[in-house]
Amino acid sequence: MEKAINLEKMTAEIDLMENVAYVIIDGHLTKVTPKQFSEDTIIWKDGKVLDVIRSERRRLKGQDVI
């Protein structure tokens, strides 16, 4: 579902049935989508999100290479 953004009121409409996280920096909305197996770490600086570190887990099932 596309998010509805009202720039005049600085509001956004989001789908509450969607499993995601949102980060807002200076009025800009960033959607952080999930991966099948991962971990996201948020790095803050001076009260604002600076980075999102995303690590991915790989399950070993006898593969020769991952």
* Per-residue pLDDT, 23: 94
* Per-residue pLDDT, 2: 56
Q: What is the pLDDT of residues 46-64, one digit of tens each?
A: 999 999 999 988 889 999 9
Please enumerate in sequence order all residues whose Cβ is within 8 A of that of 51, keeping only pairs 6 or more positions apart, or say none: 42, 43
Q: Model's pTM, two decimal places?
A: 0.73
- Tokens standing for 38? 């991962």
Q: What is the pLDDT of residues 2-40, one digit of tens each?
A: 568 888 888 999 999 999 999 999 888 999 999 888 899
Whether residue 43 is predicted with pLDDT greater than 60 in this model: the reply is yes
Distance between CA 41 and CA 54 in Å, rounded?
A: 7
- Domain ranges across the chain: 4-56
Distance between CA 23 and CA 47 in Å, rounded?
A: 12
The alpha carbon of 11 is separated from its chain's Cα centroid by a whole number of angstroms, namely 18
Residues β-bridged to residue 16: none
Whether residue 1 is predicted with pLDDT greater than 70 in this model: the reply is no
